[in-house]
Amino acid sequence: MVEDVVYVKLEISIPKSKWLAQINRNYPDLVFKILSNNLLDRNTGILLLQIEGLNIKDFNSDLKNNKLALSQQILFSGNDFIIVNVKEDDPWVLNTLIKTELLLT
């Protein structure tokens, strides 16, 4: 059976109070690639992110020193990108995607 795959580029407006919006204001050149996203329960989600950009070393330093106040674990740290596992207490994006039945990569 052949299945069609539709590729769509989405732009999501993130509320200013959310951690991803705060990081984007501090590091506007970073590119976030979602490798996986899962809900543990209605109020907790896990994201696996690949993050790259010009200021990746500064971002990585802030992440290691927990200046970003995230529950996170750095899984890989390279010269031009890092892979981070982030636990969210308010997974509003994940809840929205699940309700709309969108699979996001």
Kindly state whether residue 73 falls inside one of the protein's structural domains: yes
Kindly state whether residue 5 falls inside one of the protein's structural domains: no
Kindly state the tokens that stand for 101.
């039945």
Query: Which domain covers residue 80, as residue numbers?
Result: 35-100
Kindly state whether residue 72 falls inside one of the protein's structural domains: yes
CA angle 43, 87, 66 (to 5 degrees): 130
Kindly state whether residue 41 falls inside one of the protein's structural domains: yes
Kindly state whether residue 19 falls inside one of the protein's structural domains: no
Kindly state whether residue 24 falls inside one of the protein's structural domains: no
User: What count of residues does the chain have?
Assistant: 105
Q: Please name every residue paired with 48 in a beta bridge, in sequence order, or none if there are none.
A: 36, 85
What are the mean pLDDT values of the chain's consecutive 10-residue runs (105 residues total)?
Answer: 73 80 86 86 86 88 70 89 88 75 64
Total structural domains within the chain:
1
Kindly state whether residue 69 falls inside one of the protein's structural domains: yes
